[in-house]
Amino acid sequence: MEPRVGPLSENEIAQFVELLQDSRAQDRIRIAQELASKAVAATLDPASESIGKKLFEGTTQFTNGGIACVTCHRAGAQGGTFGPDLTNLHTRMGKVAMISAIQQTQFLVMSGTYKNQPITAQEAVHLAEYLSIPELMPTASMEDNAPMIGASLGVISLLVVVGLYRKRSRNGFSRQRGIA
């Protein structure tokens, strides 16, 4: 047997196989990622929402010259539609996962875009901070109207249910009572 396959030693492959067979692998990977990102974060400046916003919108250049996120992504009111809308990203993804997503390890289109102009860990931390703010929630007017719309839909469906019930009791229900 080959002692090494590609860049991995047999021992590393054995560890990898063991990890894949572990039903708690996802947890272990997540914990390892969290520890690694904490170690990295300890060497960085504190996350800044406002720097993140400027990087996202392209008013501040990336260190390595990559294109602004807003070209492809919407966050809040504005942005491109080529990539997914990131407005509510924080409801689906924790900050650690965001930082790793922003460094596009797993995304094909993005890894191509930033391959030669990588986003630095510091920039990813600022961007994740910006994308984590709840105020990013879109179109305040829609949000404000939502309870009203919800309430009127509720009233309408209540009326429909009451109407159906009345009809039923007039036909089937009362007839049943008549039989009994």
Which residues does 97 contact at the CB level (< 8 Å), separation at least 6? 33
Tokens coding 131: 């994308």
Is residue 125 part of the contact set for ligand HEC (CB under 6 A)? no
Q: Which is nearer to ligand HEC, 11 or 65 (CB)?
A: 65
* Interface with ligand HEC in residues 44-63 (CB under 6 A): none
Distance between CA 143 and CA 137 in Å, rounded?
8
Q: Residues 30, 48, 58, 83: which binds ligand HEC (CB under 6 A)?
A: 83
Backbone angles phi, psi at 172, to 5 degrees: -60, -50
Q: Which is nearer to ligand HEC, 72 or 121 (CB)?
A: 72
Find out whether 44 and 122 touch, Cβ atoms under 8 Å: yes
Distance between CA 13 and CA 5 in Å, rounded?
9
Q: How far is the CB of 58 from ligand HEC (least distance, A)?
A: 9
Q: How far is the CB of 59 from ligand HEC (least distance, A)?
A: 13
Q: How far is the CB of 138 from ligand HEC (least distance, A)?
A: 15
Indicate the DSSP class of residue 4: E
Binding site for ligand HEC (CB under 6 A): 67, 69, 71-73, 82-84, 86, 89, 98, 101-102, 107-110, 113, 119, 127
